[in-house]
Amino acid sequence: MKIKVPASSANLGPGFDSIGVAISLYLTIEVLGESDCWQVDHSLGDLPRDEKNMIVQAALSVKPDLHPRRLRVESDIPLAHGLGSSSSAIVGGIELADQLGGLNLAPHEKIEIASQLEGHPDNVAPTILGSLVVGCKVNGHFTAVKAPVPPFAMIAYIPAYNLKTSDARAVLPAEMSFKDAVQASAVANTAVAALFAQDYEKAGELMEADLFHERYRSRLVPELEIIRNLGHEHGAVATYLSGAGPTIMSLVDPQHISDFIDAVREAGLKDEIRRLEVAPRGAFWQE
């Protein structure tokens, strides 16, 4: 029995803490059998191999009396790179508890639990539902709405350096003026409307007009402006900082992928580039 959990890319520009898209990199959790204590076999560096592992912690937060298991975890989601690795671990743990504990949780219940653990729904909601999802907290609970799948390749430029979410949040201001907040949310609202209307030319312009976070974070990720400008000349509909960075995500028309990647390389940017897709399906079980 295996759980496959997609990665995710949050914010899409102005959708700070609210919008995210599931993408085609996967965390796989295989249940090897019962055990005396939780054991997590993996080759993901220093991550815990016992019940302190985030996957097990998430599972136990849902069902504290879950009998320990031995798990094998594999992942092609880079850690602390803005591709939602922690959200995928949390969602994987919730799926584990759901299946092993026979809980039969509904998607909205999984979104509630996962968003409480992560603090916001932008990564966990698409990881659960698949595709592009917009969510928020309202009246003390989390809610989310799934949007049409954008018909673009997701080209990720993944800088070699790590950027912890906590560090990328530490550079944000504690407050915004009322006037600035109104303008920033107007941009975000119109971006969401364009994504649902599938007017991607308009959506792209608005996704690049964020006023909440990118201007503060771009000094931590100087490649963002370079790639965004290249995208305008080489077939990208929009380029944004993926989650808390440092990954930079570009939505590229499939026929322009090679041209776009060549332009990034010619600009001297040498770190990893992945050709990804929107994952239309959220976390699922395989026998």
Ligand X SMILES: N[C@@H](CCO)C(=O)O
Q: Which residue ranges make up the annotated binding site for ATP?
A: 78-88
Q: Is residue 16 near ligand X by the rule CB under 6 A? A: yes
Please list, residue by residue across 41-78, b when 16 or more beta carbons sit within 10 angstroms of its beta carbon and e when fewer do: ebebeebebeeebbbbbbbbebbeebeebbbebebebb
- The Cα 226–Cα 268 span in angstroms is 10
* Residues in binding site: 78-88
Q: Which residues make beta-bridge pairs with 9? A: 21
State yes or no: residue 126 binds ligand X (CB under 6 A): no
CA dist 151 and 1 (Å) reads 32
Q: 47, 60, 100, 220: which one contacts ligand ATP (CB under 6 A)?
A: 47
Strand partners for 133: 20, 146
Instruction: Give the count of beta carbons closer than 10 Å to the beta carbon of residue 115.
Output: 25
- Enumerate residues 68-97 that contact ligand X by CB under 6 A: none
| The only residue of 159, 204, 231, 243 in contact with ligand X, by rule CB under 6 A | 243
- Distance (Å, rounded) from C-alpha 103 to C-alpha 83? 28
| Residue 239 interacts with which of ligand X, ligand ATP, none, CB < 5 to 8 Å by class | none
- Which of 18, 131, 165, 239 is close enough to bind ligand ATP by CB under 6 A? 165
Dist. CA 69–CA 97, nearest whole Å: 11
The piece of 61-69, 75-83, 96-104, 253-261 that touches ligand ATP (CB under 6 A) is 75-83
The answer to whether 10 and 20 are in contact (CB under 8 A) is: yes
Minimal distance, residue 212 CB to ligand ATP, in Å: 15
Of 6, 12, 17, 256, the one binding ligand X (CB under 6 A) is 17
Per-residue contact track with ligand ATP, 84 to 123, x per CB under 6 A?
xxxx-x---------------------------------x
Residue type, 277: E
The number of residues that bind ligand ATP (CB under 6 A) is 24
Given 11, 39, 115, 127, the residue binding ligand X (CB under 6 A): 11
Among 70, 169, 202, 274, binds ligand X (CB under 6 A): 169
- Tell me which of 19, 191, 244, 278 binds ligand ATP, using CB under 6 A: 244
Give the span between the Cα atoms of 27 and 60, in whole angstroms.
Answer: 19
Q: Name which of 93 and 235 has its Cβ closer to ligand X.
A: 93
- Whole-angstrom CA distances from 203 to 14, 88, 191, 277 are 11, 26, 5, 18
Applying CB under 6 A, the residues found at the interface with ligand X are 10-11, 16-17, 120, 122-123, 165, 168-169, 213, 243-244
